[in-house]
A and B are shown apart, each in its own frame.
Chain A
Amino acid sequence: GQNIDQPTEMTATEGAIVQINCTYQTSGFNGLFWYQQHAGEAPTFLSYNVLDGLEEKGRFSSFLSRSKGYSYLLLKELQMKDSASYLCAVIDSNYQLIWGAGTKLIIKP
């Protein structure tokens, strides 16, 4: 079967760095998305990786290793507004998006 694993919840301190991991087992791979979802709001796009390596976008970076079926989202200089759920999703060989359950990130002052 197809599976995406993420930690359920993480806690970090304002100003610090946090890494949210995502491992996947899917039938084929055509890319991986990270979305951010604040409570009661729509998920919004953060990043897309299809090749191995690190993609940096301001305070957020996303890493992919296709051979390991692994990705992480790195958030630097954490701000209180970064408290949200972070969703990992993989596109399989049928162009279907397979979603993880999301990681709830709690930022403490």
Chain B
Amino acid sequence: ETGVTQTPRHLVMGMTNKKSLKCEQHLGHNAMYWYKQSAKKPLELMFVYSLEERVENNSVPSRFSPECPNSSHLFLHLHTLQPEDSALYLCASSQERSELAGGREQFFGPGTRLTVL
């Protein structure tokens, strides 16, 4: 399998549930990202990992917990979410975070459509 994959594609959960989103990249990249995409809003960067170390956390609530066990896998653990957390969660990867400035693009997965009831 090639590119960036995400599972599940759709997830419905209650506010008291605990679930995890999974992302896998088969591109040999060193940087991975979690984004939140809500309707008619800009992509919101949640977490950035570079060589498995978290380098950025854009003030995301603690009910979202990332995990990067190796450079190919990224998880987003969810617990006690709120209805306003319903959104499309996108995972992306790039060769190096700094190389974005050289025009090396991010590759995105298809996303997980999350609905919190």
Contact = CB atoms under 8 A, between A and B. Distances in A.
B100 A45 contact: no
Contacts of A45: 105-107
A42 B110 contact: yes
Interface in B65-112: 90, 97-98, 100-103, 105-111
B90 A95 contact: no
B4 interface: yes
Contact of A95 (B43, B98, B105, B110): B98
Given A42-B109, A45-B105, A87 B98 contact: no
A91 interface: yes
- The interface size bin for chain B is 20 to 34
Nearest to B3: A42
Nearest to B103: A48
B86 to A, nearest CB: 15
Interface string A1-42: 000100010000000000000000000001101010000111
A95 B100 contact: yes
Contacts, number: 50
B90 A101 contact: no
Interface residues of A, number: 25
B42 A4 contact: yes
Contacts of A30: 100-101
Given A35-B105, A42-B90, A96-B56, 19 more contacts: A30-B100, A30-B101, A31-B100, A31-B101, A42-B110, A43-B90, A45-B105, A48-B105, A89-B43, A91-B100, A95-B100, A97-B100, A97-B106, A98-B42, A99-B42, A99-B43, A100-B42, A101-B41, A102-B40
Interface of B: 4, 40-43, 45, 56, 90, 97-98, 100-103, 105-111
